[in-house]
Amino acid sequence: MDSQIKGVSTGTTILAVTFNGGVIIGSDSRASIGGSYVSSKTINKLIQVHDRIFCCIAGSLADAQAVTKAAKFQISFHSIQMESPPLVKAAASVLKELCYNNKEELQAGFITAGWDRKKGPQVYTVALGGMLLSQPFTIGGSGSTYIYGYADAKYKPDMSKEECLQFATNALALAMGRDNVSGGVAHLVVITEEGVEHMVIPGDKLPKFHDE
């Protein structure tokens, strides 16, 4: 599906996983044109849309940037009106509206993850046509195909932060190892009530598996 995207695409691997007390959102860092030219090795696909809410993008980079820019504006306006930090669900709904109303023109899918006072850590997926779904964890992008089996086998509810970091890092490393349009470094953001922590794991520090 990604090979039909014209222009720069984030053929990619993105994921978001809840753990006990927070959520981790992660992605690779490769942007490619036509699946054969890597136009950026170090792009950050984790966009902060509010203090404790991030989203990550898969699909056409131009579409994704346009949508997140509009979403960021709408979410901060909404939060000023409500005089409180936005709910993660509200942020995800803003993205969903944009995707659904423009479904003919857009080719991008989103994962929204964050923490709010009402429900704690949450993960939402907005699929290509505009469907909104809440899940304990989710994976997306072209590289995600290769790690469905791994994620199904290894995810456990209520993990600790360290276990969750290991799970997310392993999943990204495995996907980057098999998908030729995912690669570069792994970006990880840990969101909890206390704050936001951004980690970058360079290619050579990623976990290695049996044939590497």
Partner 1 sequence: MLEESSEPGWLSEEVKTGTTIIAIEFDGGVVLGSDSRVSAGETVVNRVMNKLSLLHDKIYCALSGSAADAQTIAEMVNYQLDVHSIEVGEDPQVRSAATLVKNISYKYKEELSAHLIVAGWDKRAGGQVYVTLNGLLSRQPFAVGGSGSSYVYGFVDAEYRKAMSKEDCQQFVVNTLSLAMGRDGSSGGVAYLVTIDEKGAEEKCILGNELPTFYDQ
**Which lies closer to partner 1 via its Cβ, residue 26 or residue 177?**
177
Element (H, E) at 169: helix 161-178
Helix (H, G, I), strand (E, B) or coil at 67: helix
User: Position 36: which residue type?
Assistant: S
* Residue 168 engages partner 1 in binding (rule: CB under 8 A): no
* Residue 26 engages partner 1 in binding (rule: CB under 8 A): no
The residue within the footprint of partner 1, chosen from 44, 48, 76, 170 (CB under 8 A), is 170
* Residue 20 engages partner 1 in binding (rule: CB under 8 A): no
Binding mask 175-194 for partner 1 (x = CB under 8 A): x-xx----------------
User: Per the structure block, which two tokens stand in for 206?
Assistant: 């990623």
**Which lies closer to partner 1 via its Cβ, residue 135 or residue 192?**
135
State yes or no: is 12 an active-site residue: yes
Phi-psi region of 62 (alpha: psi -120 to 50; beta: other; left: phi over 0): alpha
Count of residues of this chain found to bind partner 1 when the rule CB under 8 A is applied: 22
* Residue 211 engages partner 1 in binding (rule: CB under 8 A): yes
Minimum CB distance to partner 1, residue 67 (Å) = 26
The residue within the footprint of partner 1, chosen from 156, 160, 194, 198 (CB under 8 A), is 156
Q: How far is 46 from 111, CA to CA, in rounded Å? A: 10
Distances (CA, A) of 151 to 15, 47, 55, 147, 189: 10, 23, 20, 6, 18
Element (H, E) at 22: strand 22-27
Enumerate the active-site residues: 12
**Could you list the residues that contact partner 1 (CB under 8 A)?**
145-157, 170-171, 174-175, 177-178, 209-211
